Amino acid sequence: MVIRDTIKQYRLRLIFTLILIITESVLGILFPLFIGKAITSVIGKETTGIWYLGILGISLIIIGGFRRMLDSRFYAKIYTTLSTETIKHLPEKDYSKKAARLSMLKEMVLFAENQLPELITHSIGLIGVMIIIATLNVYIFAGTIITGSIIIGIYLLNGKRTINYNTQFNNELENQVDILTTNRQSGLKLHLLRLMKWNIKLSDLETINYSLSWIIMMILLLISIILSAKNGNIQYGVMFALIMYVYQYIDSMVNLPLYYQEWLRLKEITSRIQDI
C-alpha cells in the first residue's frame, strides 16, 4: 500500500506537525476569552488584560509561522515520494491514468498541508468552545447541540450523492490525456462538458448544504444575543466573549461539513491509488 507505507516512513514528522497544529488550535480558542478579559481590564483602568492578549497573539504568530514554513517543505517531500511510487506501479504506456493520478495525489497532499490543519483547528475549537459556552449559558449550549445535530444530518443524507458525483468526475478525468492525444475537437468538447457537468453538480450540492447550514446558524446567533442580553448580572466583557464564542462555534460548525465533503472526495481518490 503506497499511502500506508509513506505515512509509516514519515510518521515521526507527521506527529510533530500534529503537535504544532494542536498547540496552535488551543491558543486560538483562548482569543475570545482574553479579548473579553482585556475589555474588562481596560474598563477597570488596568493593563494586565492587554498584556496577556498581546503575549497570546505573538505566541500564536510564532508557532503558526514556524509550522507553515516546515510544512511547505515536508509535504513537497511527501508528494515526491507518493508520486514516484504510484507511477512506478502503473502500466508503462498508460499516460492518461498516470497524469490523472498525479493530479489526484497533488490534491491529496495539498489537502494535508492546507486544509487538514484547519480541520483539526475547527474540530478542537468546536469542542473547546462548546465547553466554554456550557459554563457561561446552559440554554445557548443546548442550542448548539440542537443546531449541530441538524447540520450533521443534512450532510450525512447527501453523503452517497457526493461520492457518486466524485466517482463520475474522476472516471472522466482519467481519460483526459487519451482524449487529448486523439486531437479530435468534438471529442475534447464532449469530455470537457462531461467534466463540468459533474463539477457543477458537486458545486450545487455544496451550495445547498452550506446555505441551509448558515440559515440554521444565524437563528442560533440571534437567539444567543437575546438570551445573553436578558441576563442583567453578566459583565459586558463576559457577554462579548460569550457572543464571540457562539460566532466561533458557528464558523467551525458551518465549515466542518465542507471538510467532510472533501474527505469523501479524497476517500474515493485513495481507493483508486490503493488499487495499484
The pLDDT tens digits for 74-130 are 888 888 887 787 777 676 666 666 777 777 778 788 888 877 888 888 788 788 888
DSSP letter string over 117-146? HHHHHHHHHHHHHHHHHHHH-HHHHHHHHH
State the average pLDDT over residues 182-187.
70
**Three-class SS state of 276:** coil
Cell of 108: 491529496
Return the percentage of the chain with pLDDT > 90, whole number: 5
DSSP letter string over 47-58? -HHHHHHHHHHH
Cell of 151: 447540520
pLDDT tier, 143 (very low <50, low <70, confident <90, very high otherwise): very high
Give me the pLDDT at residue 150, please: 92
Cell 459533474 -> residue = 198
Asked if 257 contacts 134 with a C-beta cutoff of 8 angstroms, the reply is: no
Cell of 143: 442550542
CA distances to 66, 83, 114, 120, 174 from 79, rounded to whole Å, are 20, 6, 14, 21, 19
Q: How many domains does the chain have?
A: 1
d(CA 251, CA 263) in angstroms, rounded, equals 19
> What average pLDDT is seen over the chain?
82
**pTM of the entire structure?**
0.64
| Short-list 32, 51, 253, CA closest to 132 | 32
What is the CATH classification number for the domain harbouring 204? 1.20.1560.10
Helix (H) or strand (E) holding 26: helix 11-29
The pLDDT tens digits for 209-225 are 888 888 998 999 898 88
Give me the pLDDT at residue 147, please: 92
Domain that holds residue 231: 2-274
More confident residue, 234 or 229: 229
Residue type at 39?
A: I
